A and B are shown apart, each in its own frame.
Chain A
Amino acid sequence: MIWKIAAKEFLLNLMTFKFVVGTVLCVVLVVIFVPVLAEDYRQRLQQYDERVADIEAKLRQVKAYRVLTPTVYRRPQVLSVFSQGMEKRLGDSARIDFGVIPQIDARPAEVNPYLSIFPAFDVLLIFKIVMSALALLVAYDVVSREKEQGTLSLMLAHPIPRGHVLLGKLAAGSLTLAVPATIAFIAGLLLLSSSRSVVLTGADWVRILMMYIASLLFVLSMYNIGLLFSCLTRSSALALVLGLFFWVLAVAVVPDGSAYLARRLQPAETVEGRDEQIAALEKQFDKDLTAGFEALPGGGWEHDAGGPFDPYGPIGGAFSYYPMLCTPAGFTHWIQRGQMEAGLRMKYADKFRDAGRQYSDSQIRQATVARRIGMISPTCLYDGAMTALAGTDLADFESWAQAAATFRETVIAYIRNKTDNLSSVSCYTQSTEEERIAFEKASEEERRTLAKTVERHTVPLNLEDLPRFAYPTDAGRSLRRAGTDLMLLVVFNVLFFGLSFAAFQKYDVR
């Protein structure tokens, strides 16, 4: 009997105006905007590829380990088409250096700050607004309409348990809402996979499947809320008004309101405070560095290292200079200052990281409070689950920064290994011992000639064995992060269906 009721309801729903309008709107929006969003992803991917190729080209020009300071980039997530999340909002690059530990970067990746007036547009927005409205419109009169038409009392005159009637309606609602969701997903995926540069891996398909399940759970939770209002009221008009007010609260007020409220409940540290702390640390670092130089045997900043410098190395940066040729004494000095500087930079890197972390942790705590408040709305839960599954949530950026920090350790270990803990010649120069002795004794004119000879035979280092940075997409990681939100969506469904069930048991069908 449940299936008979479900089939009847399902067919009735398919023929309604609201179903047609909602489905058409959802599918049309997906068909129009998925190619646009895919093109946006293609451009970002192209930019990422160019940046990676550029850094690879620069690595091929590195002639001394002292200037081996590559930059790593975060690859844009293909599923950002579905949920943009924090992409475009957080920094997506990290410099690998002795003096910096990569961490989540509050610096906006946005090139044009004036564009921050526009909200993000993605498939998630279409789903959470249009599909939720459709779910509510399908559900609000499920019970009250039958009561108004008198068919409910006829149905219950038969020996059918009320629970079966409600289960049949739930099944019908699920099937009805699965139709636009499935069509929109298939259309979106067909358009996405036919787009240039888009390659979907096995892990991506698993995440897409979970996104589909999350979408169904979300629309079903909105349906169950509509069902509850329908079971609680005696007229469809009343159920509609209550449902609409709940919907506007869930979709428009709670997501913004939770962030607003979190700012009051959990004040966060200011960026100015962090900047002041960092500026003080930088000042202290400069002081310690100068003291370190002064303490070196035979000289401070102005030690006669001689020879031509490569002022910035191929990659650049304030301290990336190195001597191509110098006197033997100068060379010893370079080794000493290099070791001293590296030690000091490593020490201060921890301090800078702590200052940055203190600030970012306070911001993340505030965001966590906002998320917890938002959990009263299925929209926020769906948002959280989709963003985690797309790999564009804050946690994914944190885990990328962690991977970059681990990569930094690997690069430092590699440099130390190759340069005998920064004491080898290759760390600073490719000049030979004879050339350095000759350089010391040579006149100004001969020094210039010698320098040119060294410059000619100074060749790029072979860095083929340098480990490359990788941050692979991990479906398991995304699923774990989305788990709580998905579970809560299930709880929402069970809770609201349970309440509807209880209300329907006592429903006066006259």
Chain B
Amino acid sequence: MFYRIVRKEILENLLSLRFTLSLLLTISLFAAAAFVFVDDHREQLNDYWHRTNTNVAGFREQASQLHKVVFYEQHVYSRPKLLALCAEGFEQSLPRHFVFTGFAIDLPRLAGQSNFALPRFACLDWSFIISLIFSFIAFVFTYDSICGERERGTLRLILTGSVPRATVLLGKYAGLMLTLGIPLLLGLLVSLIIVSVSQVDAFHAGTWVRVLSLVALSFIYLSIFVLLGLFVSARASRPANCMAALLFLWVTLVILIPSLGRIAADRLSHGAPPTDLAKAMNQAAERVDNDTDKYGKGAGNRSPNPKECNPPARARYSNARTEAVNEVVESYHNRMLAQAFAGRALTRVSPAVVYRTASEALAGTGMQRCISLFRQVRQYQVQLRDYVVGEDRGDPDSLHLLFDEAHSVEEWNAISKKAVNFDAVPKFEERDFTLGESLRLAVWDLGLLVLFNLVFFAAAFASFLTYDVR
């Protein structure tokens, strides 16, 4: 009987106008998104490689003298990702340009501003289409699935047989999910075909696994709206009332609550202006400057002749000063991130926000990627310094002192001035999240989506069991 109900639901839905409209709308959106993505991605990859090559060319020139390698100001950009097709994660408007030397790091900068004159718009990626359009379509399909049958009198006929109510509900749920799965899978397929035929970027095995997990995530997300639709349909007496309630629910859950993030971020945590950062950096440097003797006698003095001052003390002092300033930059950066996360945390009441966050985690994009990149740059700085120190050991003329004062290092021959093999110099390479890391990042959101499913399933089940079919 279960399969009969499922088949009936699917056939009924497939023959309806809403299915045709949904199919047309979603497939055209997926296709448009894929075409635009291919163009954008190609352009972004060109820009990225141009910038990266310029940076590497400049870096290569420094290899003529070892000490210069560590003082070169590198410009590193986040690499355009193929999985931005699935969840772009607002990367275009996030800071993704990192400027650093072997010692100091600036706050990440915006790379290539988007048009300031255009209103803010969401990227037309899978997560946008699914979170916004498919959730809406789910409600359009479910609004009359129970109260509509009651109004037509068919629900009473079904229940006069020996079919348990739970079977009817599960049959309807499965039928609706399968119906929704058709435009979803077709749309995704169209999108993937367009992108893979264009050969704009290579799909690896890992990418396919992530795509599959995103598809599974999308089904979990859609299931919430189907269950919510069934719940409201089982509470309503008329389909028109049910649609009104569902429409306002959709507006609240998918549009209004996600838009509250900015207000929540501003109210929960106040961002500090950049002048505060400059002040804090000066104060941190001053604190070190005021206590120079802590690093050894004469640490505060500097002269072109190393014999006139105390180079090891100066090196300790200089590194402590840079580290103090770096800590201020890092904590300011963390505060900015914490403010954005606070805003996002509050909007997690909406399944759409939870789904988008989980999609970003699985696609390896968004704010988490910015955090990871900042961390990777900090690790790379250590790696670069270690390499320079290691290479420097072989030079008997060097003082073997590495610190953040380019002039002194050069004048004192504190680090070797011999040429190095550029191929052996560590270069910054962005490391993507492993699948395990992505899953760990998405686990709470996945849990929340499952919880939403359980709650709405229980609610729909309880409502349908007590539903008056007369």
Binding site for B on A (CB under 8 A): 17-18, 21-22, 25, 29, 33, 36-37, 40, 89-90, 106, 108, 111-121, 125-126, 129-130, 133, 137, 141, 236-238, 240-242, 244-245, 248-249, 252-253, 255-257, 259-260, 262-264, 268, 270-272, 360, 363-364, 366-367, 370, 383, 394
Contacts and interface: CB of A to CB of B under 8 A. Distances in A.
B443 interface: no
Given A21-B248, A113-B94, A116-B94, A29 B256 contact: yes
B340 interface: yes
B91 to A, nearest CB: 10
A246 to B, nearest CB: 10
Contacts of A18: 240-241, 244
Of the listed residues A33, A121, A360, the one surrounded by the most CB atoms of chain B closer than 10 A to its CB is: A121
Contact of B112 (A117, A263, A271): A271
Contacts of B394: none
A126 B256 contact: yes
B18 interface: yes
A130 B249 CA distance: 10
B367 interface: yes
A121 B340 contact: no
Interface in B44-74: none
B240 A119 contact: no
B271 A111 contact: yes
Contacts of A111: 271-274
B245 interface: yes
Nearest to B336: A112
Contacts of A117: 90, 93-94, 261, 340, 344, 366-367
A17 B124 contact: no
Interface stretch (B132-140, B206-214, B455-463): B132-140
Contact of A22 (B25, B124, B244): B244
Contacts of A237: 144, 239
B117 A367 contact: yes
A363 B115 CA distance: 6
A367 B260 CA distance: 25
B339 A116 contact: no
A125 B256 contact: yes
Interface string B124-155: 10001000110010001000100000000000
B122 A17 contact: no
Nearest to A370: B118
Interface residues of B, number: 65
Contacts of B169: none
Nearest to B262: A118
B244 A137 contact: yes
A121 B263 contact: yes
Q: For A37, A116, A262, A270, which residue has the most chain B Cβ atoms within 10 angstroms?
A: A116
A205 to B, nearest CB: 26
B90 A116 contact: yes
Secondary structure class of chain B's binding surface, majority of residues: helix
A129 B251 contact: yes
B265 interface: yes
Nearest to A121: B259
Contacts, number: 178
Given A21-B248, A25-B248, A129-B251, A366 B118 contact: yes
Contacts of B327: none
Contacts of A264: 36, 39
Given A17-B240, A253-B29, A370-B118, 4 more contacts: A17-B241, A115-B262, A245-B25, A245-B140
A360 B339 contact: no
Please name the 3 residue pairs, one residue from A and one from B, whose CB atoms are nearest each other, closest first: A18-B244, A367-B117, A118-B261
Nearest to A364: B117
B115 A129 contact: no
Contact of B136 (A37, A137, A248): A248
18 contacts: A21-B248, A33-B263, A108-B116, A113-B93, A113-B94, A114-B336, A117-B366, A118-B265, A120-B259, A121-B262, A125-B255, A133-B248, A237-B144, A248-B133, A271-B113, A272-B112, A367-B115, A394-B117
Contacts of B133: 248, 252-253
Q: Which of A113, A259, A272 is most buried by chain B, counting CB atoms within 10 A of its CB?
A: A113
A257 B133 CA distance: 13
Interface of B: 16-18, 21, 25, 29, 32, 36, 39, 90, 93-95, 110, 112-113, 115-122, 124, 128, 132-133, 136, 140, 144, 239-241, 243-245, 247-248, 251-252, 255-256, 258-263, 265-267, 271-274, 336-337, 339-340, 343-344, 366-367, 370
Contacts of B128: 256
Contacts of A112: 265, 271, 336, 339-340
Contacts of A121: 256, 259-260, 262-263
A36 B93 CA distance: 26
Nearest to A133: B247
A37 B260 CA distance: 11
Contacts of A137: 243-244, 247
A275 to B, nearest CB: 10
Contacts of A270: 112
B17 A263 contact: no
A202 to B, nearest CB: 30
| Residue in B25, B39, B115, B274 with the greatest tally of chain A CB atoms within 10 Å | B115
Contacts of A257: 32, 124
A363 B118 CA distance: 8
Contact of B116 (A25, A37, A106, A260): A106
Contacts of A245: 18, 21, 25, 140
A226 to B, nearest CB: 12
A47 B283 CA distance: 24
A366 B16 CA distance: 40
A40 B337 contact: no
A116 B266 CA distance: 12
Contacts of B140: 241, 244-245
A115 B248 contact: no
Chain A CB within 10 Å, residue with most, of B128, B133, B263? B263
A360 B253 CA distance: 36
A93 to B, nearest CB: 12
